[in-house]
Structure 1
Amino acid sequence: MATGDIDQQDSLLALELERYKLLLEEEEDEENDPSSMSLVDHLEELRWRVFKTLIAIVIGAIIAFIFRDQIMHFLELPLPKEADALGRGKLVVTGVAEGFTVFLLLSVAVGIVLALPVLLYQVWAFVAPGLYEHEKKHAIPFIFIGIVLFLIGISLGYVVLHYPLEFLISFASSSFTELVTANSYFTFVAFFILAFGLIFELPLVLTFMAQVGLISADTLVKKRAAAHIGMWIAATFITPGADIYSPIIIGAAMSFLYELTIIFIRFTKRKEAQAA
């Protein structure tokens, strides 16, 4: 039994030494690469990457502005009927230019979502030359998974959105007449849905930290109880409404993503060991 443990430790040590040698060779190749760019070249490339990203956002915003009525109607569906104090089935604006401003900001927000693949690709294209080969192979799956998780998060946020809205609007309906302005409503919707989208990036962030050696699957297992308690407490503060449904849904989602991250990190490490 002891001999088997020693052999296993020797195998792990040999694996780490081989990985270290590969890192040194890649670093030497990077240093001796004649195509390495200067600081000015990097700044110039960054400028063009940002410019291309802005063009993609502008194109997405134009498309969203064309379909602004359909987008606005879709985002208004979770709004309770009690919010329509005037009985006209429309949100309220309080300024001459507020209607145009709301449409413009809404179009930009949707344009950013539509341009997300282009934005992530430009970030990847700028960072890729400075990465090692073993790091580059993880980038494309990470970008794809990040987009999918973000879309799942904002979709779940849209489904849950009705519950905090209904509670907040009906809470003081007996004492006040609720006039929901377009600006306040869409600001609330944007922050609420964005919170869900960012929370669903939790597996990606933790897996990246594991790849760079900051944490491990064993660390997450040891801290599991404290992490779940902390996430459920955070869920009550992240959701702005005092309804019971939103914290439960977001807390359950965070706990599920945490456990999924442990499985994903172990799977990734096992694949790397097999490849090595």
Structure 2
Amino acid sequence: MRLTRRRRAVDPEGRMPLMDHLRELRNRLIKAILGLLLGTVIGWIIFQPVWDFLKEPYCALPESKDLNGACSLVVNGIFSAFFLRLKIAFIIGAVLSAPVWLYQLWAFVAPGLYRNERRWTYIFMGAAIPLFFVGTALAYLTVDKGLSIFLGFVPEDVAALITVDHYLGYVLAMLLVFGLTFELPLFVVILNLAGVLTSARIRKSQRIIIFGIFVFSAVATPSADPFTMLALALPTVLLFEAAALLAFLNDRRRARRPDPYAGLSDDEAAPLNLEEIDAELEKGLREDAGGDRVEPTR
């Protein structure tokens, strides 16, 4: 650690040799894996209440009751129950240890970013995480609707024997599909802020995008029933419209800015204030001097 700090103090650009990068990557991975293992152990301990929460949408259906009136899910192998508990414990561990491995990832990547890139990353993560959890919450509320549609075709004298593996796969697919689909409007806003996607292009392709959302919702949902498709497509369309509105407002704000290249001919060089640029670079180096690393120049 002293050697690394000495190198950072000597090199004003904060550069590190390749081996130092590899050592840091190894240390970050070890910490992330240890956090994941600790979270998995906790998930193994609290397995039963989490499993009761996951199977609640199925147990709320009349078709899930056996002859004794109890909710029944079956296993079809000796090791199925063990792997079920291990899988759920791992998922719980990944969620509980998310602050640990996300921080390790950020601590490894952040020194190579500019200040504005770090700011956009904070905004992206601050919006992506709530959107993902809102999508998973909506998926959890609609799981029983899709199940009731298809289990309603089971005759009255036939018992539906659903394995825990199939049910868990269905629930996890629903949660992931809803959670990831809710990130689509965020990518639209990020592309607009980066200047890649304009509001005019969004308005021009709006009908095609909305049609694509409905097609994707019909294909991506595990049950592919009309209710689940609409439950995914309609909120996504509303979020997309909100993203299109934000893109329109951002383009209006950007259009009101004065063009620094206005009045210049095609063969005329733009004026550069080198003293102002040097002052900005020195200010950035002074601001980052108190941190762990000096921000690298590019």
TM range (shorter): 0.7 to 0.9
Give the conservation status (yes or no) of the 8 Å contact 1:84–1:179.
no
Q: Deviation string for 1:92-137 (max 9, x for gaps)?
A: 1122221121011011112222233333333322222222222111
Instruction: State the partner residue of 2:44.
Output: 65
Mapped pair 1:170 → 2:152: yes
Residue 18 of structure 2: aligned partner: 39
CA distance 1:222–1:174, change in 2 (3 Å): same
- Please state whether the residue corresponding to 1:161 is helix, strand or coil: helix
TM-score for the superposition, normalised by structure 2: 0.73
Are 1:91 and 2:73 counterparts? yes
Larger Rg: 2
Corresponding position: 1:261 with 2:240 = no
- Alignment RMSD (CA, Å): 2.6
Q: 1:82 aligns with which of 63, 85, 88?
A: 63
| Residue in structure 1 matched with residue 143 of structure 2 by the alignment | 161
Among 102, 119, 142, the residue aligned to 1:137: 119
Matching residue's letter, 1:262 = A
**Number of residue pairs matched?**
245
Amino acid at match of 2:134: I
Q: Distance in 2 between matches of 1:259 and 1:129?
A: 35
- CA deviations over 1:32-51 (Å, ceiling 9, x no partner): 84321233332322222222
Whether 1:252 aligns to 2:231 is no
Structure 2 distance, partners of 1:208, 1:228, is: 19
**In 2 relative to 1, CA 60–228 (structure 1 residues): closer, same or farther, beyond 3 Å?**
same
| One-letter amino acid matched to 2:62 | K
- Residue 151 of structure 1 corresponds to which residue in structure 2? 133
Post-superposition Cα deviations, 1:172-207, rounded to whole Å, max 9, x if no partner, equal 446854211111111111111111111111122223
Aligned pair 1:123/2:105, yes or no? yes
Instruction: State whether residues 117 and 147 of structure 1, in contact with CA within 8 Å, keep that contact through their aligned partners in structure 2.
Output: no
- Alpha-carbon contact 1:84-1:91 (below 8 Å) kept: no
Partner of 2:275: none
Deviation at 1:67, TM superposition (A): 1.4
Contact 1:217/1:266 (<8 A) preserved = yes
Label 1:91 to 1:260 Cα distance change in 2 as closer, same or farther (>3 A).
same
> Are the equivalent residues in 2 in contact too, given 1:167–1:241 (CA < 8 A)?
no
C-alpha spacing 1:114/1:217, structure 2 compared with 1 (3 Å): farther
CA distance in 2, matches of 1:161, 1:227: 26
Deviation at 1:245, TM superposition (A): 1.4
